[in-house]
A and B are shown apart, each in its own frame.
Chain A
Amino acid sequence: MTDKIGNVWVFIEQEGGKIADVSLELVCKGKELANRLNVKTEAVIIGNNLAGSIDPLFHYGCDNVFLVESPALEPFTVLPFAEVLVKLLKQHRPNIFLVGASLKGRELAPRVASTMLAGLTADCTDLQIDDFADKVNKKSYNDKLMQIRPAFGGNIIATIVNTWQDPQMVTVREGVMKMAEPDTSRKGKTTKIKPEISVEAQVINVLKRVSEEKSIDLKKAQILVSGGYGVGSKENFKLIYDLADALGADVGASRAAVDAGWIVHDRQVGQTGVTVRPKLYIACGISGSIQHRAGMEESSKIIAVDTDPEAPIFGVAHYGIVGDLNEVIPKMIKAFKAKV
């Protein structure tokens, strides 16, 4: 007799009751995996006074939400969250547990996986279900989670499998899983939990918390004009802003431009910045390092403008303009204004 396979779980990250985008993306992906395995999609949300926040989880595909509330769980500190999750995982034994690769997710998931003696793959960019034959140990496994991630500075893509007992745990990069359309009529079950938090888990105190609200959110941009080292100077970034203004676009940048101090880090696109997927991405003076490409190559359309015909950015672009951005950008602005 084989054991019944466990459900697919998603950790729901929230701040002040607002659910993180990456968590909703993971509910959508989790639902897809659960359908493939013919199991349920369940979520765990932890904090205090959250009952009013969980409806979107059902709309995006959850069948059940574990609503874990206690004053000791607000604000977030890692030890009580880990304690709650370990208890739930041991009790319910899900097959798969998905966590967003955010700062919180990446300090929480390893702590939990270590207690569970579960394999954990960091910062995945794709997940699939497939069989796995472990040739070294001569064992084969059915319907395992293929955990796909870039490694080695993005120069290789590795497919990783957890062969020990469930849960199969991963953290998943924000912005890479597509969000489905929510079904606002969809409903599900809520399982309320009032946990006892041990004294040992409450030893860390938050003395001060300062939020520096981000005014920039490139992830929502439909059109993005990005400048790189080829822009040449801080002053010359005005050209990038001019084109963005004309097209109704937002402004992004490569790491080289951020490191040069020409533009703030919040606008950095790439592995150490944000991952974007606009309908149009215009790369100006960006050579296209693998770290940058990883953050923008899923854009629907990509235009690259660079003087070097050998620049790697042309490898991912749909339209390539080999030329000086100082001449090409004004022509773009002129052409657009003339037509609209």
Chain B
Amino acid sequence: MKRQLIVFVKQVPDTKNISGDAMTPEGTVNRAALPAIFNPEDLNALELGLELKDRFGYNVIVATMGPPNASEVLRESLYRGADEAILITDRAFAGADTLATSYALSCCAKTVGNFDLILCGRQAIDGDTAQVGPQLAEKLDIPQICYVEKVMDVDKKRIKARRSIEGGYETLESPLPTLLTVVDANEPRPPAARKIMKFKKAKTSSELQAFHGNANYMDAGQLVEEEKRLREKNLWIHEWNAAKINADIERIGLKGSPTKVKKIQSVVLKASNVVSIEPTEQGVRKLIHELIEDHTLG
């Protein structure tokens, strides 16, 4: 049987490139107006997975938890070279904090089974917590190597990887299976044109049903045929709900989340109390003298 690894990825709002359109007149961010993108460091994790495929023949499975349209990042992963894709989607997952999320992902990993490695980006740009990786490793009771820059070697039993530490780096050796969180230290390969042509037709079962207008002209038998055809061509994106991954309903979504959000405040650009200084010799001299006099300077 082929050795396999799982890359967990996330679709996130693009918080780093907030343009004028996404700002409300009150000076806050309109989240709905932000485009959804592939979380940047998850692309690094995928790239590392694909390198391991090239070097050691791994089967690369990409999985994401999210709403139905998060399937877009899965197709993007297929364009870049992933072998299989899983969408974990269920209303019951909504409102999950990092603990409930890592539990749900651990159920998915157990359902896949038989993996050597789990790869995650270090953190996602919407929450910036970097917690799901280590929590997922704990839930699976496997070791973790965080902040991985590159993998030196993988043999039948162990992995050697280099990772960053405060003020330097270290090389660690861990038994398999293990979980890696990956930092921005490689160049993710671009989607391949040939793969885009092929995998743009890849679908989840919901997408297949929607595509056929909920099967007015197709009976259930035809849908099954269509699914079979997509599976044979490797164009089938697995769509798994909470029941499929045997997730305990008490431990997922809002219910499974110990942290509650008490309050959200938008950051508003402060009304300016700035003292305007003329860019002239005189203006600048006056400012510098003031700062010397109050002992800020000198």
Judge if B208 is at the interface, Cβ distance under 8 Å.
no
Asked if A191 is an interface residue, CB under 8 A from chain B, the answer is no
Query: Known contacts being A103-B147, A122-B130, A204-B174, is A110 close to B270, with CB within 8 Å?
Result: no
A208, closest chain B residue (CB): B171
**Across the two chains, which residue of chain B brings its CB closest to A115?**
B138
Q: Which of B263, B283, B288 contacts A158 (CB 8 A)?
A: B263
| Structural contact, A122 and B129, CB atoms closer than 8 A | yes
Instruction: Evaluate contact between B172 and A303: CB separation under 8 angstroms.
Output: no
Additional pairs, 12, CB under 8 Å, beyond known A119-B258, A158-B265, A314-B274: A106-B130, A110-B135, A120-B98, A155-B29, A159-B264, A163-B260, A210-B169, A210-B170, A214-B167, A305-B279, A321-B284, A332-B288
A146 CA to B29 CA, complexed, in Å: 24
Chain A, residues 300-318, CB within 8 Å of chain B (1/0): the string is 1101110000001011111
Contact with A along B258-277 (1 / 0, CB 8 A): 11111111110110111111
Q: Is B92 an interface residue (CB 8 A)?
A: no
Total interface residues on B, CB under 8 Å, equals: 79
The listed residue (A301, A312, A320) touching B277 by CB distance below 8 A is: A320
Total inter-chain residue pairs, C-beta < 8 Å: 243
Q: Give the number of chain A interface residues (Cβ < 8 Å).
A: 88
Residues in A neighbouring B297, C-beta threshold 8 A: 223, 247, 280, 336
Q: Contact at B288–A152, with CB atoms within 8 Å? A: no
Which one of B3-11, B65-73, B120-128 is at the interface?
B120-128
**Which of these, B97, B166, B169, B272, contacts A102 with CB under 8 Å?**
B166
Chain A, residue nearest B162 (CB)? A208
Bound CA–CA A23/B61 (angstroms):
40
Instruction: Chain B residues near A113: list those with CB within 8 A.
Output: 99, 131, 135
Choose the segment among A38-46, A229-237, A322-330 that binds chain B (4+ C-beta atoms closer than 8 Å).
Answer: A322-330
Contacts of A118 in B (CB 8 A): 258
B150 contacts which chain A residues (CB < 8 A)?
Answer: none
CB-CB under 8 A from A305, the residues of chain B are: 279
**Min C-beta distance of A109 to chain B, whole Å:** 8
Q: Provided the pairs A103-B164, A205-B172, A214-B167 are in contact, do residues A151 and B275 lie with their beta carbons within 8 angstroms?
A: no
- With both beta carbons as reference points, the residue of chain B lying nearest to A147 in the complex is identified as B259
**Minimum C-beta distance from A308 to chain B (A):** 13
Chain B residues closer than 8 Å to A321, beta-carbon distance? 276-279, 283-284, 287
Contacts of A336 in B (CB 8 A): 288, 292, 297-298
Interface residues of A in 137-155 (CB under 8 A from B): 146-147, 150-155
Question: Within 8 Å CB of A320, what residues of B?
Answer: 272, 274-277
State A322–B18 Cα separation when bound (angstroms): 24
Closest chain A CB from B103 CB (angstroms): 9
Q: Which of B144, B174, B261, B274 contacts A159 (CB 8 A)?
A: B261
